[in-house]
Structure 1
């Protein structure tokens, strides 16, 4: 049978284990109630059948301490000074002295001292109770405990242990120190008299099984500490016994008998008896206290038990290092409380740290290793990090097969960085440094080249996804010194070591590793941040980063030209390689007299710019050349600026030549590539393309059959040039009429070309196929309208620049936007890896349109309502953008009722159109979207906003009812679909008024003639009556109930593993962990395939690639949301910044 973990003991059961139940007599009850017998309400145990009854468990579930200062003192005599409980409640510095005095008192008057100690024990639990010394031997423990429980039931206890008062902050530590000191002081006498500690243990065990939580907490603290202190004494005695045994063996070799041998035999026997007695006391507390309290309902008690057990096993393995005790650590790996799970994991870490413990842990490891691996993906991050450390310990002892590590590699791309870095440490130790594989260790196995080679073997599995590669590099970087060995990496890239041969794939990965490592070394992120907080570094960290920057520059200075020249034609390596210069200290080129190398680097970057046509390579080259032109100094800066001017002139000449080639009937490829280069250059700086502008306009107008991508980049370059021209006018002190006229002329020309494509039939292609040109036309038009919005230039000298599109153009614009919004998710996913996909997806289109409404560039009544009507139609990303727009509109108080109502009308109209077309499935879909839209919009009025915006809500409801009864009953369904959610936000008097208004509208209507048409009306009225009948309760609502967890989805907790809390009777005879338990547990878990290590990584990689794809989409959508927030919260007088 599988060995089940015991269940939680709710402490509601009887705390008297196999003891005689006691009953309370009437007479004694009367005495206690009336105060007769001269007791004056004092609680004194006199050894008779004391009153007491066991209260209901519910009476003690959450007992609260009695806060009265003046409590009735118990007993007939005062405790001996100094008062033990006051010493414990103090700062603890008198504990040692007090314990010595008490031990001396005990040796002279044991009963008096025992009474004082027991009184302190009860007071530590918060109860005032005193036992008369003359009845100490006769009184039954149960009688006392029943009386103590009665005190707790009446609330006459004070909880020192959980108190927040400053004077009790050291109470727990002082209580533990007191008992530890008492055990040590008693080890040469009272400890072994079988009276003192036996009596104390009886009361502690009994109190630990009572319902009041405070009793269980304090009794557990004392009982667990006693075992720990007993172990301290037992260790000393064990050392003495071993010494005596060696002396006895040596003496026996000299002579078989004699007084010396007899003396040593006696000493050995006495020492052994004392150890046996201590171990019996340990077992007594373990069975009487631990076995019940490790499954207590209070997680703090459970955690204390497991922490103590870990200490016991580690410090006294001769008794506790066996399956009888180890199984409790295994069972609590499934505890529902994270703190308990963490305590168990940490205890096991300490056990596996000792090599001598490992052989004994074999069966335990076999049984619970799968659960240890599962905890690496625990829902609590701190538990997961500790569990990963535990797995490292298992690997160090070679107790885990490599096949079991596959699931752990998924955590390399987990969202919480602490988990990723913990896995990174494991990957480094196990796969790169191979610290756990003795066969691989040896001379030369720990060189940088060897480590880099192993890292490349891992990165080879992620070559197709640079994001995943960066995650792996980020995880391992902190532990792998070879990643900071710049000279070694450069040497490998330049093939300086003939023994190391890199494939092209390895070369690409090594360049990416070099680039990422350089960024990490100077304090930059290489993976997306989990938050948007800016990084702040200390002065010491900044000094380290600056030192690393110098080291990188020195290492790269002479080799950088060689690397660029070698990989100049490799489009996969160039972006990462070129960007390294952004993290170098260019001043060192002058200080080290390496000016020629700097100039060579710039020339090679220019060559790379004109060699490649891909976005990443072009963008990296532009950033690098701009950086050199701004961050270098003196002669080198002049050279960099001249080189940048050469780039500008050359690209203009190349575009002109390419346009002429197309005009002459040539290929469009050269024009496309050079337009991309010009676009990337213009994104960072103003390029003088005045002579090119007319050529680009003529090309657009004369060649209407150009490839869409060529058209896009022609329009983009014209738009960005116009933006730079506008910026120069706005920022200039003097504005000439010529420059103003030039901008207006260019704007008109660009508008004409955009409107041509807006009206072009080619824009009305298949909706699901997407349209790159349509997206570009939408976003460029929106940016132009935003740049030249009337509010930006009204009442200024530049008022002529203000522009607002007419209603017809705006409607065509939105129709084109709608086409892009209706692109299917599958189509958009297919486009995600294409260049500039993040600039042309539907989120960008929606952001551009929303920005027009938020900035009042166009009519918000039309476009605002159209956008909001799409709130729930296109997934979470679009929903976030619209939500930001609504927030801005509400903040500006921009006609919310009218916009919301128009949005609802349009959403309902979509349903009606499809209903008349007899497309029932699509009609039902639109109806549900309309209802959800109404629910979302009404949900924006929450909490206090319901009262603040009551009139706005009422206006939406009344106007909605008016709309619903136009040509009734055709649109009566609008009441239930759109109006009803807003009614629920109104107070009861308003609902009554609405009911009367609606009923009045139907007084003279014969609804029986068309019952199906008035069905929605009946439903609406029924709902109103129900809402009116209910008492008004304003709930604490929250807007937009989306709570997302970033990163890879968490595994569910292993519910089957929670057998710790099932009914189970644990007994001391269960001294082993059954194999069937292990086998049955295996049946409940998902079995992993037995595959080699590198295949485990590959298997993990496949899962990770899927997660990466989802993560990339999630990051894109998060980025879209962030962009929406940034764009929609612009400054009112802000202008477009290229």
Structure 2
């Protein structure tokens, strides 16, 4: 009893000291002209609230932190948020923050857009804590403010917003997944509903050119971003009785997200504008992770990619994205895993692309991918080179046919129609694009190209304007 009485007297003495310090020093100095002193005040009052919460975790003290959230100096605002963070994180203390949260929640949410990035990151972290412990206080509009930050150019802010998305939207539901099966009875993977939600979020964001930013915001915190088997299943497997089929827009968005995640996983590099200006040097652990991810995605997509290309071959936007994927393969796996048959299927589909498309992006991607497949250091070189020769012959023949027909009409003083003009322009475009990646010297096309360049320059034969501009950039 004596010890207890002594302890209580000591506690009273500490309380009196701190109360005196608060009234005599804090209430005057928390508005000091020096921001360093204001920062110290906020950091210390936070410690008092955490360590001596019986007396100081009260709205009569919390209001000082709330008021100072509006301070004009970033470091002071940061110290306010850092003081609040452990209070919200404590199961014991969070219940005492309801009145403070309701009063200052709008200001904390607004600080997620703070011009000081450290403050914005800490504000997002604090909103996550509010979401965990006072979920009903945040309105849909509050959440949308944070959602948009996954597209921020600042990586730390975007990844913090990604954590918020994981807490608010992407919540696994094992019971819902257990009942999901494809039309042929295959059980869906656990990430299936989450990836569907991700696609819908991406569509509703209406920032389709920023798929790489969305992926970068989530790839380190949510394993669904590397669940390529789940993504390809959604694209290839027909939906079961309890599923809605993906519409065209959803398929396009899912393919874009998948390709962005493949690119980042296989290189370890954040998208342009999100990382350092120089190429980052990966640590040994990061390099191992990149190699493992690259091997994993290659093994899964070698047999799956031909199926995807076959399904979407006539869709320019989808096929342009899908054709990028082999650029991030570990190409040695074709040989070590005896996947030559799937390589032949891929090459056959690439050969079909120029025949079905005249879109510049599709043709450029096909030419670049074929160039990478045809590198001499790979064991698959001879197989790929034969396919390339066949493809280049087809492109040259199409050009010669279209060109001869067009020139013959001009020689006969006839006006080529729209179809004949389109055939010539598109065939010249294919030659120009593939010539930029592949040596077409042996194709005996130079005389014809040179003749048309002369026509374009001297105007002796009126060729379509686009033909002249394409020929003048063709690396003859």
Structure 1 length as normaliser, TM-score?
A: 0.38
Deviation, 1:643, is 1.3
Distance in 1, matches of 2:114 and 2:75, equals 12
Secondary structure in 1 aligned to 2:164? helix
Alignment of 1:617-696 (within 5 A): 617-630=362-375, 633-634=378-379, 636-663=380-407, 664=409, 665-666=416-417, 667=419, 668-688=421-441, 689-696=445-452
Task: Label 1:711 to 1:693 Cα distance change in 2 as closer, same or farther (>3 A).
Answer: closer
Could you say which structure has the larger radius of gyration?
Answer: 1
Task: Label 1:441 to 1:402 Cα distance change in 2 as closer, same or farther (>3 A).
Answer: farther
Among candidates 161, 168, 174, match of residue 423 of structure 1: 161
Task: Label 1:603 to 1:699 Cα distance change in 2 as closer, same or farther (>3 A).
Answer: farther
Partner of 2:146: 408
Does structure 2 retain, via aligned residues, the 8 Å contact 1:470–1:516? yes
Whether 2:12 is the aligned partner of 1:279: answer no
Q: Which runs of 4+ in 1 moved over 6 A?
A: none
Partner of 1:326: 62
Secondary structure in 1 aligned to 2:169? helix
Secondary structure in 2 aligned to 1:684? coil
Partner of 1:710: 467
Structure 2 spans left out of the alignment, 5+ residues: 179-188, 410-415
Partner of 1:347: 83
Structure 1 spans left out of the alignment, 5+ residues: 1-263, 435-439, 722-1138
Does structure 1 retain, via aligned residues, the 8 Å contact 2:264–2:270? yes
Does structure 2 retain, via aligned residues, the 8 Å contact 1:307–1:343? yes
Partner of 1:600: 345
Distance in 2, matches of 1:595 and 1:268, equals 81
Partner of 2:24: 288
Alignment of 1:99-498 (within 5 A): 271-397=7-133, 398=135, 399-433=137-171, 444=177, 447-462=190-205, 465-495=207-237, 497-498=239-240
Task: Label 1:632 to 1:532 Cα distance change in 2 as closer, same or farther (>3 A).
Answer: same
Partner of 1:947: none
For CA contacts below 8 A with separation 6 or more, give which structure has more relative contact order.
Answer: 1
Deviation, 1:385, is 0.7
Distance in 2, matches of 1:354 and 1:433, equals 22
Distance in 1, matches of 2:329 and 2:292, equals 11
Task: Label 1:430 to 1:527 Cα distance change in 2 as closer, same or farther (>3 A).
Answer: farther
Task: Label 1:502 to 1:288 Cα distance change in 2 as closer, same or farther (>3 A).
Answer: same
Partner of 1:551: 296
Whether 2:281 is the aligned partner of 1:524: answer no
Deviation, 1:535, is 2.4
Distance in 2, matches of 1:631 and 1:480, equals 38
Q: Deviations over 1:903-938 (max 9, x none)?
A: xxxxxxxxxxxxxxxxxxxxxxxxxxxxxxxxxxxx
Deviation, 1:426, is 1.4
Secondary structure in 2 aligned to 1:633? coil
Deviation, 1:531, is 5.2
Does structure 1 retain, via aligned residues, the 8 Å contact 2:398–2:427? yes
Secondary structure in 2 aligned to 1:559? helix
Q: Deviations over 1:520-549 (max 9, x none)?
A: 112234344565322222233222211111
Partner of 2:182: none
Does structure 2 retain, via aligned residues, the 8 Å contact 1:519–1:525? no
Task: Label 1:516 to 1:339 Cα distance change in 2 as closer, same or farther (>3 A).
Answer: same
Distance in 2, matches of 1:479 and 1:394, equals 19
Whether 2:307 is the aligned partner of 1:562: answer yes
Distance in 2, matches of 1:591 and 1:403, equals 53
Partner of 2:322: 577
Does structure 2 retain, via aligned residues, the 8 Å contact 1:602–1:643? yes
Does structure 2 retain, via aligned residues, the 8 Å contact 1:587–1:632? no
Task: Label 1:443 to 1:274 Cα distance change in 2 as closer, same or farther (>3 A).
Answer: farther
Task: Label 1:298 to 1:433 Cα distance change in 2 as closer, same or farther (>3 A).
Answer: same
Distance in 1, matches of 2:273 and 2:4, equals 67
What CA RMSD, in Å, does the superposition of the two structures yield over aligned residues? 2.3
Deviation, 1:297, is 2.6
Task: Label 1:428 to 1:615 Cα distance change in 2 as closer, same or farther (>3 A).
Answer: farther
Does structure 2 retain, via aligned residues, the 8 Å contact 1:491–1:497? no
Distance in 2, matches of 1:349 and 1:267, equals 35
Does structure 1 retain, via aligned residues, the 8 Å contact 2:392–2:440? yes
Alignment of 1:516-915 (within 5 A): 516-522=260-266, 523-529=268-274, 532-630=277-375, 633-634=378-379, 636-663=380-407, 664=409, 665-666=416-417, 667=419, 668-688=421-441, 689-697=445-453, 700=456, 701-704=459-462, 706-717=463-474, 720-721=475-476
Deviation, 1:702, is 4.5
Q: Deviations over 1:252-309 (max 9, x none)?
A: xxxxxxxxxxxx5x77666544433332222112111222222223323222221111
Secondary structure in 1 aligned to 2:323? helix
Q: Deviations over 1:952-974 (max 9, x none)?
A: xxxxxxxxxxxxxxxxxxxxxxx
Alignment of 1:919-958 (within 5 A): none
Secondary structure in 1 aligned to 2:317? coil
Deviation, 1:310, is 0.8
Distance in 2, matches of 1:267 and 1:585, equals 71
Task: Label 1:302 to 1:637 Cα distance change in 2 as closer, same or farther (>3 A).
Answer: same
Distance in 2, matches of 1:294 and 1:427, equals 35
Task: Label 1:337 to 1:466 Cα distance change in 2 as closer, same or farther (>3 A).
Answer: same
Does structure 2 retain, via aligned residues, the 8 Å contact 1:652–1:692? no
Distance in 1, matches of 2:213 and 2:70, equals 30
Does structure 1 retain, via aligned residues, the 8 Å contact 2:68–2:77? yes
Secondary structure in 2 aligned to 1:630? coil
Aligned length: 447
Does structure 2 retain, via aligned residues, the 8 Å contact 1:462–1:468? no
Task: Label 1:310 to 1:694 Cα distance change in 2 as closer, same or farther (>3 A).
Answer: closer
